[in-house]
């Protein structure tokens, strides 16, 4: 029901303690302003730890919470479970959707079970195995992408072009997570598909000028071109939208999400990951795609809030 939280107090949780803190603050502030423009009573809460969050929520006594946190302890199910225990309705996916969506390895295995192609990969556990032994035994053609399984914004991710670069890349990734995904690098168009409360948006093409959509390309003005609708055929666009909805539903997600794909050719595509709390400013990818079909940023914020609920009865 549209506007069901009008007249209620809404807490927007932002900031957090992950390496994506600054991005989360941008998202949270943008959502807060969007909801205020729609007439909502919003209190912004900068989450700086568990004890501080308890105190802030007890002080604010919100009727619902919008989660605008990115990365660990915000997007991975921790805060979702905490809000369930406090019986505060919240936006986005629950504990399961958040934890599965955050773990690239687990989510890829689920996608494969659903019949959705994924790039070939190998998994390295830095807490159990030797990097030297892993490098010797790896049977994968270069280049590969080495990335932490549970991290966002391409933090501590490396493109490895030579075998000698692999061990240092594993060490870099291990700064974020002991679970490390080594994935075959596939050149092609980078496509992302947003979804809002089950409604898939037009595929958007990401065209970084550097050739790789890394942290700098994401957050440096003018470093990347965003094209919507993406320069792919209608059949491919429909397929990526269908796959996005399939994964979104399989992990029991809610609210706004964004699935990323690589499209090497007109008839070939591979799933990379799903982001269950994507960046949400007026310049972010989901709002760009939504604007193409006439959905304003403020409307996205209200739709997100409309879906706030408890996932455990």
Residue 145 and residue 156: Cα distance in Å, rounded?
Answer: 11
Question: 99 an active-site residue?
Answer: no
Of 24, 99, 153, 156, the catalytic one is 153
Catalytic residue among 98, 273, 284, 307: 273
Is residue 273 flagged as an active site residue? yes
112 is catalytic: no
Find the catalytic residue in 177, 214, 254, 260: 260
User: Which residue in 20, 76, 254, 302 is the catalytic one?
Assistant: 20
Task: Decide: 309 and 89 in contact? Cβ < 8 Å.
Answer: yes
**Which single residue is written with the structure tokens 């890829």?**
108
Given 185, 215, 219, 226, which residue is catalytic? 219
Catalytic residue at 153?
yes
**Catalytic residue, candidates 26, 150, 258, 303:** 258
Q: Active-site residue 248, yes or no?
A: no
**How many CB atoms sit inside 10 A of residue 137's CB?**
10
**Integer CA distances (angstroms), 280 to 26, 28, 34, 109, 260, in order:** 8, 8, 10, 27, 16
Catalytic option among 24, 32, 99, 275 = 275
Per the annotation, the verdict on 275 as an active-site residue is yes
Of 224, 290, 277, 247, nearest to 117 by C-alpha is 247
Of 16, 279, 284, 303, the catalytic one is: 279
Rounded Cα–Cα distance for residues 269 and 70 (Å)? 27
- Pairing state of beta strands 256-265 and 189-196? antiparallel
Strand, helix or coil for residue 6: coil
Indicate which residues carry an active-site annotation.
Answer: 20, 153, 219, 258, 260, 273, 275, 279
């Amino acid at each position: 029901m549209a506007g069901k939280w009008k007249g209620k107090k809404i807490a927007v949780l932002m900031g957090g303690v992950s390496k994506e803190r600054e991005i989360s603050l941008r998202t949270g502030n943008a959502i807060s302003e969007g909801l205020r423009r729609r007439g909502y009573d919003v209190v912004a809460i900068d989450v700086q730890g568990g004890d501080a969050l308890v105190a802030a929520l007890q002080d604010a006594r919100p009727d619902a919470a919008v989660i605008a946190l990115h990365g660990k302890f915000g997007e991975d199910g921790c805060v979702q479970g905490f809000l369930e225990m406090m019986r505060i309705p919240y936006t986005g996916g629950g504990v399961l959707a958040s934890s599965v969506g955050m773990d690239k390895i687990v989510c890829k295995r689920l996608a494969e079970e659903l019949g959705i192609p994924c790039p070939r990969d190998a998994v390295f556990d830095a807490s159990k195995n030797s990097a030297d032994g892993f490098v010797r035994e790896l049977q994968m053609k270069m280049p590969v992408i080495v990335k932490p399984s549970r991290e966002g914004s391409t933090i501590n991710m490396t493109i490895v072009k030579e075998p000698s670069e692999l061990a240092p890349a594993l060490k870099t990734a291990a700064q974020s997570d002991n679970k490390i995904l080594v994935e075959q690098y596939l050149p092609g168009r980078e496509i992302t598909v947003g979804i809002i409360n089950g409604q898939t948006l037009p595929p958007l093409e990401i065209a970084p000028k550097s050739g790789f959509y890394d942290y700098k390309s994401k957050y440096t003005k003018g470093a990347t071109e965003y094209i919507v609708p993406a320069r792919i055929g209608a059949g491919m666009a429909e397929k990526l939208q269908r796959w996005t909805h399939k994964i979104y539903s399989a992990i029991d997600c809610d609210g706004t999400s964004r699935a990323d794909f690589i499209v090497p050719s007109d008839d070939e595509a591979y799933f990379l990951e799903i982001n269950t709390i994507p960046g949400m400013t007026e310049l972010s990818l989901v709002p760009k795609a939504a604007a193409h079909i006439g959905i304003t940023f403020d409307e996205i914020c209200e739709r997100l809030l409309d879906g706030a609920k408890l996932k455990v009865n």
